[in-house]
Amino acid sequence: MVKYIFILFEVHQPRRLRGGLTEGLIRNNSDHGCLYNLLFDERRNEDILKKVSSNCYIPTTKLLLDNLREYRGNIKINFSFSGIVLEQFMKYFPDALELFKDLIRLELADVVVEPYYHSLVSVYEDHGEFISQINEQIHLVKELFEVTPKAFVNTELIYNNLIANTVKEMGFDVVVTEGVDRVLNGRNPNHVYLGGSSGIKLLLRNYRLSDDVAFRFSNKSWDQYPLFADRYVDWIIRSPGDLAVIAMDYETFGEHHRADTGIFDFLKHFINYLGKNGVSALGASEVGKAFDPVDIYDVPSDSTISWADVEKDLSAWLGDREQIAVFNRHKSLLQLIGELGIDLLKIWRYLSTSDHYYYISSKGGASGEVHRYFSPHGSRTNAYCLLNNALTILELRILGYLNSR
């Protein structure tokens, strides 16, 4: 029976592309700031961040501050922030950022590091850019929260043995990834595992327990609806194993499931029922020391996993020809930008964010519905054209540098 859990909330908002990028194809302005404003819709990004902050980030974080103090030392939350969302908090909604700082300062929450740009660069053959984006995030987290985390979670829980090797060499002790049935092969996700030959400890997300809240909470056709906190905690306790990993988007609370669904009451009572039933929620700073690995979790690079869609692989971002084509086109520009030593790397990195590729997916069924829910572009065709146009504009800027030499 489980008496320990690890709760991870992912906090991320992308830099969304501006509609009507075709006009940018004929511009020739060399100013970096103008290029950024040409490509990215800052008004929309600001409006969305403020809306989600009002619906989720502010009320949820205040709820945690009010309710975790009673169980301080026994119940701790973990957050993974993209560097992109932290930038937007600093610029547009510092009040939300201050609440997160309060949680961490009071030791009610820990931080888990992810790549700064919430990107797909971990699947590159060369991990140099992957390492750079992680180091940029480590620096920002240390600057904002005054902590240096030793736990890592990749973009969308993307994972394979090579990724484990890289982050182990960078000094991380723990990686959070998905408990995928085909990799577990009948084993229980509620244990700590070893990541291939790297020796790093892995925490495996229990996707059934996590998705009961993240996806099914307000689904009135679900046979367990409505879900109450006492029943949910009972499910956790009755699960076999040492440690249940519950991970989901932080926007689950108040944004994906609106306040009138009862999601905030659920979260409040969930914390209380954990405390009353003696279930400890561990922070990233302590979980790696609490358990010994029970087995090896082997994920070759040609079988990379993630937490996305029913396939739990890379197909959410790289499952279509269009996605692969624009991914390779974007990737091909990195070396050229580096060789030229021009100030376009930040723009290139914003275009590496996984969301841009996620919006292009052609999947149907339940997975397709989720892709369409998150897309701000109306259709996958629009998303594909916008990203291609953005890359064309970036290429023209690079050509401008070359012609001026």
156 carries an active-site annotation: yes
> For residue 379, how many other CB atoms are within 10 A of its CB?
12
**Beta pairing class for 201-205 and 109-111:** unpaired
> For residue 26, how many other CB atoms are within 10 A of its CB?
8
Q: Of 53, 64, 57, 54, nearest to 270 (Cα)?
A: 64
Per annotation, catalytic residue among 156, 178, 251, 255: 156
Give the span between the Cα atoms of 2 and 6, in whole angstroms.
11
Contact status, residue 84 vs residue 13, Cβ threshold 8 Å: yes
Q: What angle do CA 164, 202, 171 make, to 5 degrees?
A: 50
Contact status, residue 12 vs residue 84, Cβ threshold 8 Å: yes
- What angle, rounded to 10 degrees, do the helices at 128-145 and 161-169 form? 50
Contact status, residue 79 vs residue 280, Cβ threshold 8 Å: no
Beta bridge partners of 249: 10
Give the span between the Cα atoms of 281 and 237, in whole angstroms.
12
Q: Of 233, 238, 294, nearest to 266 (Cα)?
A: 233
Give the span between the Cα atoms of 149 and 183, in whole angstroms.
27
Give the span between the Cα atoms of 381 and 393, in whole angstroms.
18
Looking from the CA of 399 toward its CB, the CA atoms found within 13 Å total 9
**Extended beta strands in 112-259, E state:** 151-153, 174-178, 192-195, 201-205, 243-249
Residues 6+ apart with CB under 8 A from 377: 17, 19, 359, 383, 386
Contact status, residue 184 vs residue 173, Cβ threshold 8 Å: no
CA quadruple 127, 132, 136, 138: dihedral positive or negative?
positive
Catalytic residues: 156
